[in-house]
Amino acid sequence: MRVVVTGAAGQLGKDVLRELENKNHEAFGLDREQLDITNEADVFSLINEVKPDVILHCAAYTNVDAAEEDEDTAYQINALGTEYLAKAAKEAGAKLLYISTDYVFDGTANEPYEVNQETSPLGAYGRTKLAGEQLLQKHLDRFFIVRTAWVFGIYGNNFVKTMLRLGEERGEVGVVHDQVGSPTYTVDLAKFMVELMETDKYGIYHATNSGVCSWYEFAVEIFKQAGLHVTVNPLTSDQFPRPAKRPAYSVLSKKRIEEEGLTPLRDWKEALAAYLQESK
């Protein structure tokens, strides 16, 4: 298959390109230098030129706190950029897979969010990603929306890297314990995306590694597996204020993956071990 990957220079995009190569697909990786997704004419021109079978849309404005100050830019990238790609995909007869987020939910649930559950974002980032989902669905029948959470991989900045750096610098860290979710390793998410795009099982999916933890428990496990002796102090979200409010409960139900006979992502602790091995 001919596959266009947006956000190809990013943490997820790079692993998606690797997985496409492993599966012998013809990949066209585009970063923001090669394609400004907020320019509709550029999007149409590129998609018409490449004529892909699939577009894997990983590009996003992901700075959750900055989005509170600059929702307009986040909207242009997350919502309008996605709409332009959807319209171009329709014209080219291509499938589109859009990466979305747990932030479309408000985090007040106490059991895993199902794919059809009502959305209610708390902040600008979640609102703009949800707008992307809605605009995509307005134009396309052949789409996949994959909501994920707590992403980490070797190519970007993420919680695991931050913890390892702080642990080595300080020997003591404070981490919130009242936000719960499931970490997601980009290698595993990329494998799922490529498996999914090869099917016609369209619709919305939730994809994270399996298992559940708080950020505090995640940090403790990182240090344990890395063999670092670091004191981790549990904090409440109120003790660690950020510009954007975070969902307290971000656990996504992966039921749809099983129902469709797709490969579930492994346990997050196994994924973390694989990441630490890879980053050596």
Q: Quick check: pTM over 0.75?
A: yes
Tokens for 157, please give them. Answer: 């900045």
Q: Whole-angstrom Cα distance, residue 271 to residue 250?
A: 18
Instruction: Note whether residue 129 is domain-resident.
Output: yes
Instruction: Note whether residue 279 is domain-resident.
Output: no
67-114 per-position pLDDT tens digit: 999 999 999 999 999 999 999 999 999 999 999 999 999 999 999 999
Residue range(s) defining the domain that contains residue 147: 2-157+183-209+251-265
Instruction: Note whether residue 176 is domain-resident.
Output: no
190-216 per-position pLDDT tens digit: 999 999 999 999 999 999 999 999 999
Q: Which of 61, 125, 216, 249 is catalytic?
A: 125
Q: What are phi and psi of 79, to 5 degrees?
A: -100, -60
Instruction: Note whether residue 216 is domain-resident.
Output: no
Q: Is 113 a catalytic residue?
A: no
DSSP state of 183: -
Check which CATH number belongs to the domain holding 73 and give it.
3.40.50.720
Contact 229, 173 (CB under 8 A): no
The 8 Å CB, 24+ separation contacts for 11-14 are: 11/151, 11/152, 11/153, 11/155, 11/156, 11/157, 11/158, 11/186, 12/58, 12/99, 12/151, 12/153, 12/156, 12/186, 12/189, 12/190, 13/58, 13/59, 14/153, 14/155, 14/186
Instruction: Note whether residue 18 is domain-resident.
Output: yes
Number of domains in the chain: 1
